[in-house]
Structure 1
Amino acid sequence: MLQVQPTHYRPFLKWAGGKSKLIDQYIPYFPLSFTNYYEPFLGGGAVFFYFCGVKPDANKFISDINPELINTYCCIKNNVEPLISLLKTHQLQHNRDYYYKVRLHWEGSEIERAARFIYLNKTCFNGLYRENLRGLFNVPMGKYKNPTICNEDLLRSVSVAIQSAAVSLKPYDEISSKNEQDFVYFDPPYYPLSATSSFTTYSRYVFKEAEQIKLRDTFAELANWGVKVMLSNSNCAFVRELYADFNIYEILASRAINSKAEKRGKITELLITSY
Structure 2
Amino acid sequence: MQKKTRAFLKWAGGKYSLVEDIAKRLDQAQELTGSTASTLVEPFVGAGSVFLNTNFEHYVLNDINADLINLYKELSHAPDEFINDARTLFSDINNDSDVYYGLRERFNKSNDAYERAILFLYMNRHGYNGLCRYNLKGIFNVPFGKYKKPYFPEKEMYFFAEKAQKATFTCLSYKDVFAALPKNSVVYCDPPYVPLSKTASFTSYAKGGFNLDDQANLANLAEQAACEQHTSVLISNHDTVWTRKIYEQADIDVLNVKRTISPKGNGRNKVSELMAMYLSGGKYKLNQANHG
**Would you say same fold, with TM above 0.5?**
yes
* Other-structure match for 2:167: 165
Rate the CA distance shift 1:114–1:178 in 2: closer, same or farther, 3 A.
closer
Structure 1 residue 42: Cα displacement: 1.2
Structure 1 residue 242: Cα displacement: 0.3
Rate the CA distance shift 1:85–1:259 in 2: closer, same or farther, 3 A.
closer
* Other-structure match for 2:240: 236
Amino acid at match of 2:22: Y
Distance 1:243 1:83 in 2: 42
* Other-structure match for 1:21: 17
> How many pairs does the alignment contain?
265
* Other-structure match for 1:101: 102
Amino acid at match of 1:171: S
Where does structure 1 differ by over 3 angstroms across 4 or more consecutive aligned residues? 5-10, 258-261
Question: Would you say the 8 A contact 1:197–1:258 is kept in 2?
Answer: no
TM-superposition CA deviations, 1:233-272 (whole Å, max 9, x none): 0110000000111101111212223365423211110011
* Other-structure match for 1:85: 84
Question: Would you say the 8 A contact 1:83–1:112 is kept in 2?
Answer: no
The answer to whether structure 1 residue 10 and structure 2 residue 6 are counterparts is yes
Structure 1 residue 187: Cα displacement: 0.4
* Other-structure match for 2:60: 61
| Structure 2 portions without partners, runs of 5+ | 31-35, 280-292
Distance 1:255 1:168 in 2: 28
Question: Would you say the 8 A contact 2:132–2:205 is kept in 1?
Answer: yes
Alpha carbon RMSD of aligned pairs, Å?
1.8
Task: State which of 167, 186, 192 in structure 1 corresponds to 2:195.
Answer: 192
For residues 128-167 of structure 1, the aligned pairs below 5 Å read: 128-148=131-151, 150-167=152-169
Question: Would you say the 8 A contact 2:12–2:131 is kept in 1?
Answer: yes
Amino acid at match of 2:196: L
Q: Secondary structure at the match of 1:251?
A: strand
Question: Would you say the 8 A contact 2:39–2:182 is kept in 1?
Answer: no
Could you tell me the TM-score, scaled by structure 2's length? Answer: 0.85
Rate the CA distance shift 1:22–1:8 in 2: closer, same or farther, 3 A.
closer
